[in-house]
A = this chain, B = another copy of it.
Amino acid sequence: MNDDELARRLHSGTLRLLRRLRTADGSAPVSPARLSLLSILVFAGPRTVGELARLEQVSQPTISNLVAALEAEGLVRRVADPDDGRRREIRATPAGRRLLHAAREERERLLLGLLAPLGERDRKTLARATEILEAMIGG
């Protein structure tokens, strides 16, 4: 497989994996982008909108919108910074934590289903490839 073909197939493969995952959160009605944000807030702790934008490598308004949606659903809340009136810390609520964990279980079941037919070798290859990918894109 040359680089050109690798590029094409990597692109289409990742596209389809994400499409598959997107439609897979049956019981947890929260989309991947929101889940990803929530996951940062739960596992890495509170962050501001700007920090989230940098972490997710998207624009600041995109995060603002996601946060607004999550807040409307009671999954996060904005907390004013007493020392800097411009900053607002975004925190996951207990409901947000519960939902995240439920969604992770859901997704885990799905991914376990996909990973199950693979052998140990293939799983290791995927794990290594994931690390390479992260390094490539600065993760």
Q: Are A107 and B57 in contact (CB under 8 A)?
A: no
Q: Are B18 and A15 in contact (CB under 8 A)?
A: yes
Q: Are A36 and B7 in contact (CB under 8 A)?
A: no
On whether A136 and B108 interact (CB within 8 A), knowing A17-B14, A19-B58, the answer reads: no
A5-28 interface (Cβ within 8 A of B): 6-21
On whether A108 and B7 interact (CB within 8 A), knowing A125-B125, A129-B129, A132-B126, the answer reads: yes
Q: Are A16 and B129 in contact (CB under 8 A)?
A: no
Flag A99-139 by CB within 8 Å of B: 1 or 0 each: 00000100110011011011000110111111111101101
| B residues near A130, Cβ cutoff 8 Å | 1, 6, 9-10, 13, 129
Q: How many residues of A contact B (CB 8 A)?
A: 49
Q: Are A125 and B132 in contact (CB under 8 A)?
A: yes
A83 near B: Cβ within 8 Å? no
A43 to B42, alpha carbons, bound, how many Å? Answer: 45
Q: Are B115 and A6 in contact (CB under 8 A)?
A: yes
| B residues near A111, Cβ cutoff 8 Å | 3, 6-7
On whether A15 and B36 interact (CB within 8 A), knowing A9-B134, A137-B20, the answer reads: yes
A residues near B (Cβ < 8 Å) are 1, 3-4, 6-21, 32, 36, 39, 56-58, 104, 107-108, 111-112, 114-115, 117-118, 122-123, 125-134, 136-137, 139
